[in-house]
Amino acid sequence: MPVGIDNQVREMMRSLDVDYCNGQAVDIHGSDARMVGRHGTKGIGKTTLSKFVYNRLYPLFEGCCFLGNIREISRTESLEHLQSQLVSKLLKREHISYGSFQEAICHIEHEFRNMRVLIVLDDVNEQHHLEAFAGKLSWFGPRSRIIVTTRNPNLLKIPEVVATYEVKPMAADQSLRLFCRHAFGESAPHKGYGKLSKDIVPPAGGLPIAIEVMGSFLYRKNKKIWTETLQKLKEVQVLSVQQAFMTSYEALDEGARNIFLDIACFLEGKDRRMPLYMWEDSGFYPCSGIESLLLAFLVKIGENNELLVNDPLRDLGQAIVLEEDPANPGKRSGLWNHKDSLNTLKRKKGTKRVQALCLKVDASSDKCFTWEEFQSLSELRFLKLDNAYIQGDFTNLLSNLRWLDWRGCPETFEAMNLHLKKLMILDLSRSKVTHKWKGWSQIKMPQLKVLNLTGCHE
């Protein structure tokens, strides 16, 4: 069991009306479906707690789904896509497509009313997210259980939620135990490190992720580095937690830093194998880089081999990129915000500094981008073009692109001479492409390693 959550687990099991004995969930009480909520600040451990409870409970249910990181994923994916994930996992089927948000709700409402399900909705930040996945308890069968985690306790003030609980910072003794587990591989400090350990832990404010990062950074380091780290934390008392993250980030080599920023800004949730081609071809040495990030606790690998990063660390990565040029998005290495990307292209303000750019065009839009808007982006290696049209002659443009993420690619193809000689990953998920799509002949990609056609029903 993760350090410091045993009491919270028991409290959560009680609110779910579940028999819990000797670390095992034994039985579900009552006949009604039940929804409970957990709230707290980012990095406090809400997801860890819910995941632990989920792993203890799932054998008691007919269908289960842990829908993680909803806040972040909903920025780049549609709610219909997340609803599809929920239904597919509960029914243990392949991807199910929906034409609209409402169509998915109707399916959920009628499909599961007689099924006992366990659902975790992790990091919900909008009321309509709850309505999309679990608007009413009557959608689900008797003895179903739904767990919602959020930073906003006001989202839980609805009739469906029968119990709420605030996840609070770790106590001092638990913080020290967690730190020592990562710094020494055991629950107590090594001889001669006792006082240093006790002094380093408090600035983390009881946030598990900050404690884990600090402990992992100091693992097997000599006492001089410990002393210097403590001094840095004392010098920046207000930003001490962020400073702890920065200390770990700055200790990475350049390749690992670039990999971390890619994950924090663009690639969270992606299968870890896919970007290896891009990183290797970019000279980032991804195998050792990922290993360094895992050891430093800056990223994690999920159950489905996906790349994950905690909220505070994602914020750190995005802040680092924003600081490259706060006033001029086109002079930063990455643009993940659609508005920044759109303005940069339309005003032709992009520079060769930009290595990654994301656009998320509404599916009903016919917004089109021309070769002129990409002319200055000579170093672009990652491009996301959700639902966008491109047209014109792309001769000698995008020559460094390694990854084209073009979900919702239109059936008509109006670009010419799109010679992507370094392209390794082409993602056309949920597109209208057919075997007669003109892109197959117009896009030249001799280095292609990955082609994703998930949801391309035609």
Q: Do residues 308 and 317 touch, judged by C-beta distance below 8 A? A: no
d(CA 85, CA 92): 10
pLDDT, residue 240, reads: 52
Sorted by sequence, the CB contacts under 8 Å of residue 264 that are 6+ apart come out as 309, 313, 314, 316, 317, 318
Question: Among 131-145, 220-234, 433-447, which is the least confidently predicted range?
Answer: 220-234
Q: Given a cut of 60, is residue 352 above it in pLDDT?
A: yes
pLDDT (average), residues 99-124: 91
Provide the domain limits for residue 190.
Answer: 172-250
Q: Given a cut of 90, is residue 242 above it in pLDDT?
A: no
Q: Given a cut of 50, is residue 238 above it in pLDDT?
A: no
Angle between helices 127-134 and 101-111 (to 10 degrees): 50
* Residue 1 banded pLDDT, cuts 50, 70, 90: low
HEC profile for the chain? CCCCCHHHHHHHHHHCCEEEECCEEEEECCCCCEEEEEECCCCCCHHHHHHHHHHHHHHHCCEEEEECCHHHHCCCCCHHHHHHHHHHHHHCCCCCCCCCHHHHHHHHHHHCCCCCEEEEECCCCCHHHHHHHHCCHHHCCCCCEEEEEECCHHHHCCCCEEEEEECCCCCHHHHHHHHHHHHHCCCCCCCCCHHHHHHHCHHHCCCHHHHHHHHHHHCCCCHHHHHHHHHHHHHCCCCHHHHHHHHHHHCCCHHHHHHHHHHHHHHCCCECCHHHHHHHHCCCCHHHHHHHHHHCCCCEECCCCEEECCHHHHHHHHHHHHCCCCCCHHHCCEECCHHHHHHHHHCCCCCCCCCEEEEECCCCCCCEEEHHHHCCCCCCCEEEEECCEEEEECCCCCCCCCEEECCCCCCCCEEECEECCCCCEEECCCCCCCCCCCHHHHEECCCCCEEECCCCCC
Same domain as 17, residue 127: yes
In a domain? residue 10: yes
Q: Do residues 353 and 376 touch, judged by C-beta distance below 8 A? A: no
Same domain as 294, residue 242: no
- Whole-angstrom CA distances from 252 to 256, 306, 360 are 6, 22, 32
Number of domains in the chain: 4
Same domain as 223, residue 282: no
Question: Among 71-80, 123-132, 325-334, which is the least confidently predicted range?
Answer: 71-80
Same domain as 299, residue 273: yes
In a domain? residue 458: no
Tens-place pLDDT, residues 158-216: 888 888 988 888 888 889 999 999 999 887 888 889 999 999 888 888 888 889 888 99
Tens-place pLDDT, residues 382-396: 999 988 999 999 999
Q: Given a cut of 50, is residue 287 above it in pLDDT?
A: yes
Among the three residues 217, 250, 283, which one is the final residue of a domain in this structure? 250
Q: Tell me the two tokens of residue 284.
A: 């980032």
> Chain-wide mean pLDDT for the chain?
89
Q: How many residues does the chain have?
A: 458
Same domain as 75, residue 51: yes
Same domain as 132, residue 32: yes
pTM reported for the whole predicted model: 0.80
Q: Given a cut of 60, is residue 237 above it in pLDDT?
A: no
Q: Given a cut of 60, is residue 30 above it in pLDDT?
A: yes
Q: Which amino acid is at 57?
A: L
- Whole-angstrom CA distances from 72 to 129, 153, 302, 315, 427 are 12, 18, 15, 11, 20
Tens-place pLDDT, residues 421-437: 999 999 998 888 998 99
Same domain as 155, residue 58: yes
* Residue 449 banded pLDDT, cuts 50, 70, 90: very high
Q: Tell me the two tokens of residue 276.
A: 């290896």
Tens-place pLDDT, residues 53-98: 999 998 999 999 999 888 888 877 778 888 988 999 999 887 777 8
Among the three residues 103, 131, 166, which one is the final residue of a domain in this structure? 166
Same domain as 218, residue 272: no
Same domain as 138, residue 11: yes
d(CA 282, CA 400): 9
Q: Which amino acid is at 187?
A: S
* Residue 322 banded pLDDT, cuts 50, 70, 90: very high
Q: Tell me the two tokens of residue 425.
A: 């990953």
d(CA 403, CA 420): 10
pLDDT, residue 239, reads: 46
**248: left (phi > 0), else alpha (psi -120 to 50), else beta?**
alpha
Report the CATH number at residue 135. Answer: 3.40.50.300
Q: Which amino acid is at 183?
A: A
In a domain? residue 182: yes
Q: Which amino acid is at 304?
A: N
In a domain? residue 1: no
pLDDT, residue 266, reads: 92
Q: CB burial class (10 A; 0-12, 13-18, 19+) of residue 89?
A: middle
Among the three residues 267, 302, 318, which one is the final residue of a domain in this structure? 318
In a domain? residue 357: yes
Q: Give the number of other CB atoms < 10 A from CB of residue 365.
A: 10
pLDDT (average), residues 95-116: 87
Same domain as 160, residue 12: yes
- Whole-angstrom CA distances from 184 to 45, 160, 192, 221 are 22, 44, 12, 10
pLDDT, residue 401, reads: 97
Q: Given a cut of 50, is residue 128 above it in pLDDT?
A: yes
pLDDT, residue 303, reads: 79
Q: CB burial class (10 A; 0-12, 13-18, 19+) of residue 428?
A: buried
Same domain as 262, residue 366: no
Q: Do residues 49 and 5 touch, judged by C-beta distance below 8 A? A: yes
Same domain as 278, residue 145: no
